Structure formats: C-alpha cells, structure tokens
Structure 1
Amino acid sequence: MKKSVILLILLVLVLFTAGCDEKNPKNSTSSEANTEKSVVAITQLEQVNTSLQKTPVFVKIGSRWCPECRSLKPVLDNLAVEYQGKATIAAIDADKNPELAEYFEVEFIPDSFVIVGIENGTYVYMQENGNLSADRYKARFVGRNDTDEEMFKKVLDLALVQQEKTDANETKR
C-alpha cells in the first residue's frame, strides 16, 4: 500500500509539472515560444524578396562567436514581437551564409539595416534620418548593441510610414 501511495504522488507531481511547463507553447503564457519563431533566419535572398512583398525587412548580419551579435538576440526577439505582422525581423549568420555576407558587402559585424523595397533591381534602404537610399552603407548600423533598440524602432517606424506612402500611391494608380 505504501508503494502505491508513493507512485500515485509521483504520478500527480509528474502530471502537475508537465502542465506547468513554460517551454510547452500550449500551456505557456509567456511570449517566449512565439518569439523564437518570429525572427526569420535568412539563408537566401529570395526570403528577403518574398518578405518585402508584405512588409519592410530589418536584417541583422552576425555570427554566433560574436559577443555583440549575441547581445542583439533579445533586441531582435523584442522587435519581432512588437512588429509582428508589420515588419519582418530577420537574421543572417555570416559564417553559415558567407555568400549573403558578401552580397551585402559586410565588413564588420553586427551589421544591421532596414530594406523597404526594390527599385530597378536594387534594394532600397531606410536611413536613420528617414531618407531612402540605394546605398546600404548610408543606411547600415554597424556594431550596434542592445542599447540601440529604440533607434532600431525609430528606423522601423520610419519604414512603416514609407510603406504606407507607397501603398497609398499604388492605390491611386
């Protein structure tokens, strides 16, 4: 009888702790499970182009070995939650995708930027001052860290305003 009571208590504890598992998305009230899926891992340019058809794209290029790049992970997670459905938050691992790092002419990491469109086959980037540029060097944020989340939000908000203007102009046509 004593063994059956102990087994029953263990069973109740196992069931109780399984129901309280914060890593289980079904039972979680935190947005952590959703956040991990929200930052898009870019492995090819077509992913950027597809996302651009719907929203501006914030891209961070970095690497796992880079401490500054790792410090941006919580910032990207926060941006992904805050801008869900309004902007695509994406990351490129320069070590796993060297051809993309080369395409964007990355010299230092982390390297971040916001793409708002494509004109004549060239990406158009949002600068920190609200101007558009086809020159990524004028619109990139190199070596930024977790203290720059507000600046990233500012540029994303400017990109969303630009998207609204573009959408309004296309509607008039």
Structure 2
Amino acid sequence: MKIPANTVDEYIAKLPEDRKPVLEKLRQTILKNLPKGFEECLNYGMPGYVIPLSLYPSGYHCDPKRPLPFMNIASQKNFVGLYHMGIYASPPLLNWFVSEYPNYCKRKLDMGKSCIRFKRMDEVPYKLIGELTGKMSAAEWIHLYESQLEKNKK
C-alpha cells in the first residue's frame, strides 16, 4: 500500500482513519525507546528509523546514498507491518522476541524474516515493541550489519 508522502507526519495524516491511531502510537512507542544514534525519517516510502549518513557515511549497501535502515513501520493493505532488521540479523534477538510474544498477544505470531504483521489493530503489543526497540544500540546495529556483510562476501 503506497502512501505518497514527504514526511512521517504527512504519511500518518494520509492513512485511513482506523490506521492513524495505531501508526501514531507505534511511532511514539518507537521514538520513546529508540537509542541514541538513530533518526526518524521517511525511508522507502514509510516511516523509518535509521543510522544517518552523518554517523555511518557508508550508507546502506543496496544504495549507499541512503541511510542504514534499522526499523520501519507501514500500513499495508491487510495489516500494519513492523520491519526490524535486527531481528533478521540477530538470532538471539529473534529468539527473545518469539519467546516473549505470547506473553503480550493471544494470537499466533505472524512474521516473515524481518516483518511482523499485525492484522488486528486492537492487538498490537506496544509494550513489547518498545522493549524490542531499545534492545540494540546504534553501535551494536552497525557492528552486526558490518559482520553480516563480511559473512556474505565469503
């Protein structure tokens, strides 16, 4: 679901009415728990939380002109998505999240490699998302990202 916007505020303002409060609460939860070194921006057409080029000038390997992505949130056709690159790259973080999820939600976890899908707007585990957001520092993410790049080169 592509939402044409130039800022995160504009993105949220253009959402369907039932999605606005969910995305705004997710945004506030992330911002409250986001470690120093990350910045909010519109990234790949959705609200993103990135390592800015001023901190990591190498940028994202897929497009070095872009900041290094860490998390994104988006309103998709049938769900709200939270995309967390740390879960994809860190098995211990993934295991922690998967084991904690049932303590916050009654429904089965709906997840891809880095995408967590919330189909019921009244069942988004904001507290768990806050904890997940704060689990990895900017320096840890850069180190993990670079180690994954090195591993993929071999």
- TM, length-normalised to structure 2: 0.38
Q: Answer 1 or 2: which has greater helix percent.
A: 1
